[in-house]
Chain A
Amino acid sequence: MNINPRLKITLSAITAFLTPLGALFILQTFFSDIYIRNHILHSSVMAITGLLSFYIFWRAYKTYNANKGDSTPLFLLSLSFLTMGAVFIFHAIAISDIYIFSETIFDIFEHYGLFFGALILLGVLFPYNQNITRAIYASRKIFLFSLVIFLAIFSILVVFSTPVAEFLSTHINLAIGLTGISFFVNALFLLLSHDYNRKSDRLSFYLIIGFLILTSSGIVPFFYKEWNAVWWFSHIIFIAGFIFTLVELFKQKRTEVSFGEVFSNTPLGAKIILNYSVTIILGIFILSYLNYYSAEKNLKNQLFHDLALTSAVEKENVLGFLDYTKSRAVDFSSDGFIRDSAKQIINEKNTAEIAENLNAHLVKNKMSLDKGIIGINVLDLNGKIIASTNIEEMGKDESKDDYFMQGKNSSYGDAYVSDVVIKQSHFNAIKSFFTASTVLTDRETREPIGIIVNYYDATTLNEIVSGRYGSIIEPLDIADKNIENTMEIFIANADGLMITESKFVKNAILRQRINTEAYWKCKENKNIRGIYNDYRGVKVVSASECLPNGWLLVTKIDVAEAFILLKDIQKEAAIFSIVLLSLIVLISSLLAKAIIFPIRKLDEAAKKIGLGDLSARAEVISKDEIGSLAQTFNGMVVQLKQLYEGLERKVKDRTMELAQKVNEVEHEKDKLSTILYGIGDGVLVVNGDGKIIIWNDVAEKISGFSTKEVIGKKYNQVLSFINEKTGKPSNDFIQQTITGGEIIQMPDYTMLIRKNGSQIAVVDSSAPLKNKNGEIVGCVMIFRDATKERDIDRMKTEFVSIASHQLRSPLTAIKLSAEILADADTGKLNAEQKNYLSNIQQSAQNMTSLVNDLLNISRLEAGKIQINPKPVNLKELIDKVLDNLSVISVAHNCKISVNAGIDLMPEIITDPDLMRQVIYNLISNAIQYSSPDGNRVDIEINRAEDNDHLIISIKDAGIGIPEEARKRMFEKFFRAENAIKTKVDGTGLGLYIVKMIIENLGGNVWFDSMVDTGTTFYVKIPTKSPPPPAIKKI
């Protein structure tokens, strides 16, 4: 069955607290008068309790040690029980019958021992941190030793120092009350900080029960009388409390002990309740105690005062009575009849009649005067009774008796009162009596003739002290009628024997010996007011008076009765305390609730907010610090909410922006893919690993591979390019793009091997894909079907070849024929004929040039310049060109110088044919446009400043280029005005071709010119032709 642990423990705690108290009241009502006076039983009980306590000490200490001192409270538990154990063992040997010390001392031991134990336990509530815990463990033996020493010193002081013992005894109720409070507070703390969900907190649970039971030990002592049922009950409580404490400790063995940091575990509310309760309870208790203490003191003083007064009054009564007996004796001794009769009896012989008369006189006239007198005797000086109220007394010899001796020696007018005696020899009395005796003198001579003795019933003294004897002063009625039950006034004689009847002991007179403090003090002739054990061994409050005759008059009341009022006050206080305690706990819990409630509200709100509910607010309306805190808190939450909402809005905005951007990107992507996929060329994109990631429809169409087939594959697993002419694989350009990071055009004559194995002519280029850091992450390649282009190109090439062939052949024939004619191999020609033949030759030559230039241009413009870089010796190349131009140079009577640092001139890497064409065109121009007078062409080759280029300068002394023509010099078919005017037939294509070639070779061309002075053309070309074979940069 699963009972809520909180409910279970709380109910158990309440039961543990209330059961002993309930039992107490029942006992108080019905059984408080049952006394079991059994020392052996008591000692056994106390011994068991003490041993249990020692065992708890040992067990707790062992566990504490085993756990390396991680729980200081456990150590305190052990110390506490060590203290209590010692006390109980001590108490066990306090058998009343063999009291070694006074009972007061044992009471001190018992109650202060418990108090110390409880006080040590209060240390459990201290919040120990690790350092303190460790320090305590380190010096545990010192603590233990110190405690033992303390207990020893305490015991010695109590036993040997009366003031200490008296002081402690006086305040014993304080110790009792504080014990109860300590246990209660301890239990309450443990209860309120109990971790209900931890199994290992079982020790705490048992301690709560144990301590709550022990709390009763601070209440019960106010109710018991020694040896009564309640008294026994309190002993049972000890055992029960200890057993409960032991139960779980017994199980703990060497495992964890978890009643650790009690105070730090205690909830705030509990702390407030406890603080209130403890403070108020302690305050009220101490105030009550002081109140009680003063009440007790007052009561005692009052009591002492009253008792002393009573004693004094009674003393006066007794003394008065004794004086009265004396006066009576003196009075009788002055009786003339008695004196004369006695003289006659003593002096004369036949005196029977006189004696008879005297006897009768004594009975009739004297004894009747005092009802206390049981007899009167007249003695002669020899101690012989000569007259008596009782005839049987006659003739007895009393000469040895004290009253005779004292009476005989008493002076006239005085009398001697004897001690109380019991003698059967007089008047058949079994009663106790005392005598008043005085001397009888001769009426004339005043000489002693004998003595007269009055015998008084001793019980008369009783009547006097109890006020029943019609005496002068009535006895005081002290406070309460109940008090009279044990109130007793008695008189003891100098031998310490009672001479009045005891209220408690029958036939006490001269039998009951009193051996009390009062008696001993009286020996020193001191009166006493105090509490001591009377002749019965019962504690009494008493006042004594020493009488001049050595008698002792004692007025006393049993303490139990005398202080019954205090008992009542105690009981009322105890009941009041319990009610008050409940009330305080109730009020303080309400108060705590009032304080805690807003804090809890705050806490709840904070928790809600912690869980993300920003609409939560702390509902605190008070205007105190908590209210202000709550307001601040709420303000904070509002700000937080605003902040959060702001943030949320921002996040939303950002998200929207992002979404928009994503949309845009998507859109872009769509656009891109639309473009990519819609583009008329095949597009393929590979990533950095060379894997294909994009493959458009056209690519699919051209290659025959579907997108599905190629995506994710390495490009060279799919694509296979070969050179159309050589049949060699030509796949490198993609890898070159990726590694080189440059845009590369596919080599000419590239064929793609399609899926079905057929070849298709493709053109285009690949470009690197770079991320924003400029790192190459892939390559995009565009290719298209170039079959038609290639066909057209082939046709064009063929056409150009054919055309040039067809044009050149007849020209060649013309030229050769004309040459043969001119050489006059076939017969001499006249001047006119020669002139015509020259025209033919010139025209044929122009025609040839034109054809050549057109052919070149067609090729250049078609981008079909194929650059074949080779090592070229420029000097040699120029020489060859000059060789070819020798005909026209001779014709123009032109001197040509070539100035080149040949040794310094390395072979350069360039295309020799193209280079030759450039040099040819420039030199031929220089020769042809020279002025007829100073025909001279200077050619120089120099290294450029950057060392990577050569500059060829070709300087003529020709017609020069007019300023307006300079900008247009490299235009196609352009000829400057002054050039046209010359005889030179030009096509206007030469410089155009030069510029095209030079730029294709990675160089440039420019000129300086002055009309009629000459022109210098400069060609700057790289020493190493940059373009790789068959691949050209766009």
Chain B
Amino acid sequence: MNAKNKILLAEDDYAISRVYAGGLTHSGFEVIIAINGVDALEKIRINRPDLVLLDLMMPIKNGFEVLEEIRKDDALKDIPVIILSNLGQESDIARSKELGITDYLVKSDTSMKHLIEKVKSHFNQ
């Protein structure tokens, strides 16, 4: 492993973002936290993360909007995105999948360990 894989975590809930960030950092990933959609886009453009963990319900700009903009932006469109949301409805999942995502995880059903495994498997670790 030459450099730490950069993960952008877009999560408006402070408590959750801190727990996730803690777990992921502990597992050896570089984690950048964005607290809303606009912040997330901005930080994605600046930091070019290797993976985006995207919450859907966020202030200012929600996750769908963020995802749409990423996919529209030629520079960003290849960045893999894993949705990490409490929205578990099929419609949401379907909509997300249409926009191109790597995985969809429902927060309440996903333990820390599970998340880390998912991220690791994404990076083939």
A residues at B contact (CB < 8 Å) = 797, 801-802, 804-805, 808-813, 815-817, 819-820, 823, 825, 848, 851-852, 855, 859, 866, 868, 884, 887, 913
If A816-B111, A819-B111, A913-B90 are given as contacts, then 9 extra A-B residue pairs at C-beta distance below 8 Å, sorted by A number, are A801-B89, A812-B16, A813-B16, A813-B19, A819-B113, A820-B112, A852-B88, A852-B108, A859-B89
Interface residues of chain A: helix, strand, loop or mixed (majority): helix
Residues of B within 8 A of A855 (CB): 88
Residues of A within 8 A of B108 (CB): 808, 811-812, 815, 848, 851-852
B48 touches A (CB below 8 Å): no
**Complex Cα spacing A815 to B109, Å:** 10
Q: Contacts A817-B15, A817-B19 hold; do A812 and B107 have CB atoms under 8 A apart?
A: yes
- Is B88 a contact partner of A804 (Cβ separation < 8 A)? yes
Residue of B nearest to A847 (CB): B108
Residues of B within 8 A of A805 (CB): 57, 85-87
- Is A815 a contact partner of B87 (Cβ separation < 8 A)? no
Residues of B within 8 A of A848 (CB): 108-109
Those of B59-114 within 8 Å (CB) of chain A: 85-92, 94, 107-109, 111-113
Residues of A within 8 A of B13 (CB): 809-810, 812-813
Minimum distance in angstroms from B4 CB to a CB of chain A: 18
Residues of A within 8 A of B109 (CB): 848, 852, 884
Residue of B nearest to A849 (CB): B108
Residue of A nearest to B11 (CB): A809
**Complex Cα spacing A859 to B90, Å:** 11
Residue of A nearest to B15 (CB): A813
11 pairs of residues in contact across A and B, judged by CB atoms under 8 Å: A797-B89, A804-B86, A805-B57, A805-B86, A809-B86, A815-B108, A819-B113, A820-B23, A825-B26, A884-B109, A887-B111
- Is A820 a contact partner of B19 (Cβ separation < 8 A)? yes
CB < 8 Å neighbour of A809 from B16, B20, B26, B113: B16
Those of B14-62 within 8 Å (CB) of chain A: 15-16, 19-20, 22-23, 26, 57
Residues of A within 8 A of B113 (CB): 819, 823
Minimum distance in angstroms from A185 CB to a CB of chain B: 116
Residues of B within 8 A of A819 (CB): 111-113
Minimum distance in angstroms from A781 CB to a CB of chain B: 28
Residue of B nearest to A848 (CB): B108
Most buried by B among A797, A805, A812: A812
Q: Which 7 A-B pairs have the closest CB atoms?
A: A808-B86, A813-B15, A816-B19, A812-B107, A808-B108, A848-B108, A805-B86
**Complex Cα spacing A848 to B86, Å:** 11
CB < 8 Å neighbour of A816 from B57, B89, B92, B112: B112
CB < 8 Å neighbour of B87 from A804, A820, A823, A852: A804
Q: Contacts A805-B57, A808-B107, A816-B16 hold; do A868 and B90 have CB atoms under 8 A apart?
A: yes
**Complex Cα spacing A868 to B13, Å:** 32
**Complex Cα spacing A797 to B88, Å:** 12
Residues of A within 8 A of B88 (CB): 804, 852, 855
Residues of A within 8 A of B15 (CB): 810, 813, 817
Residues of B within 8 A of A823 (CB): 112-113
Residues of A within 8 A of B89 (CB): 797, 801, 859
**Complex Cα spacing A815 to B92, Å:** 23
**Complex Cα spacing A823 to B23, Å:** 11
Residues of A within 8 A of B112 (CB): 816, 819-820, 823
Residue of B nearest to A883 (CB): B114
Residues of B within 8 A of A866 (CB): 90-91
Minimum distance in angstroms from A159 CB to a CB of chain B: 138
Residue of A nearest to B94 (CB): A868
**Complex Cα spacing A852 to B26, Å:** 30
**Complex Cα spacing A174 to B116, Å:** 154
Residue of A nearest to B26 (CB): A825
Q: Contacts A815-B111, A855-B88 hold; do A820 and B22 have CB atoms under 8 A apart?
A: yes
**Complex Cα spacing A592 to B109, Å:** 123
**Complex Cα spacing A813 to B23, Å:** 12
Minimum distance in angstroms from A824 CB to a CB of chain B: 12
Most buried by A among B88, B107, B108, B111: B108
Residues of A within 8 A of B92 (CB): 801
**Complex Cα spacing A1001 to B52, Å:** 36
Minimum distance in angstroms from A888 CB to a CB of chain B: 12
**Complex Cα spacing A810 to B13, Å:** 8
**Complex Cα spacing A39 to B107, Å:** 159
- Is A816 a contact partner of B23 (Cβ separation < 8 A)? yes
Q: Contacts A816-B16, A817-B15, A825-B26 hold; do A809 and B87 have CB atoms under 8 A apart?
A: no
Residues of B within 8 A of A816 (CB): 16, 19-20, 23, 111-112
**Complex Cα spacing A278 to B55, Å:** 133
Residue of B nearest to A813 (CB): B15
Most buried by B among A797, A810, A815, A913: A815
**Complex Cα spacing A805 to B85, Å:** 8
CB < 8 Å neighbour of B86 from A812, A859, A884: A812
Residues of B within 8 A of A859 (CB): 89
Minimum distance in angstroms from B95 CB to a CB of chain A: 10
Residues of B within 8 A of A812 (CB): 13, 16, 86, 107-108
**Complex Cα spacing A868 to B94, Å:** 11
**Complex Cα spacing A820 to B21, Å:** 12
**Complex Cα spacing A855 to B19, Å:** 25
**Complex Cα spacing A817 to B86, Å:** 16
- Is B107 a contact partner of A809 (Cβ separation < 8 A)? yes
**Complex Cα spacing A797 to B92, Å:** 11
Residues of B within 8 A of A813 (CB): 13, 15-16, 19
**Complex Cα spacing A820 to B115, Å:** 13
Residues of B within 8 A of A820 (CB): 19, 22-23, 112
Minimum distance in angstroms from B10 CB to a CB of chain A: 14
**Complex Cα spacing A859 to B88, Å:** 12
Residues of A within 8 A of B85 (CB): 805
**Complex Cα spacing A383 to B111, Å:** 215
Minimum distance in angstroms from B59 CB to a CB of chain A: 12
**Complex Cα spacing A816 to B19, Å:** 6
Minimum distance in angstroms from A861 CB to a CB of chain B: 15
Residue of A nearest to B14 (CB): A813
Residues of A within 8 A of B57 (CB): 801-802, 805
Minimum distance in angstroms from B82 CB to a CB of chain A: 15
Minimum distance in angstroms from A880 CB to a CB of chain B: 12
**Complex Cα spacing A852 to B87, Å:** 10
**Complex Cα spacing A855 to B90, Å:** 12
**Complex Cα spacing A823 to B15, Å:** 18
Residues of A within 8 A of B111 (CB): 815-816, 819, 887
Residue of B nearest to A856 (CB): B88
Residue of A nearest to B13 (CB): A809
Most buried by B among A809, A810, A855, A913: A809
Residues of B within 8 A of A815 (CB): 108, 111
Minimum distance in angstroms from B2 CB to a CB of chain A: 26
Minimum distance in angstroms from A1020 CB to a CB of chain B: 24
Residues of B within 8 A of A913 (CB): 90
**Complex Cα spacing A752 to B76, Å:** 40
Minimum distance in angstroms from A849 CB to a CB of chain B: 9
**Complex Cα spacing A802 to B56, Å:** 11
Residues of A within 8 A of B23 (CB): 816, 820
Minimum distance in angstroms from B85 CB to a CB of chain A: 8
**Complex Cα spacing A810 to B88, Å:** 16
Residues of A within 8 A of B22 (CB): 820, 825
Residue of B nearest to A884 (CB): B109
**Complex Cα spacing A852 to B86, Å:** 10
**Complex Cα spacing A793 to B104, Å:** 25
Residue of A nearest to B110 (CB): A812
Minimum distance in angstroms from A850 CB to a CB of chain B: 11
Residues of B within 8 A of A868 (CB): 90, 94
**Complex Cα spacing A286 to B93, Å:** 133
Residues of B within 8 A of A810 (CB): 13, 15
Residue of B nearest to A913 (CB): B90
**Complex Cα spacing A801 to B86, Å:** 8
**Complex Cα spacing A804 to B89, Å:** 10
**Complex Cα spacing A825 to B90, Å:** 35
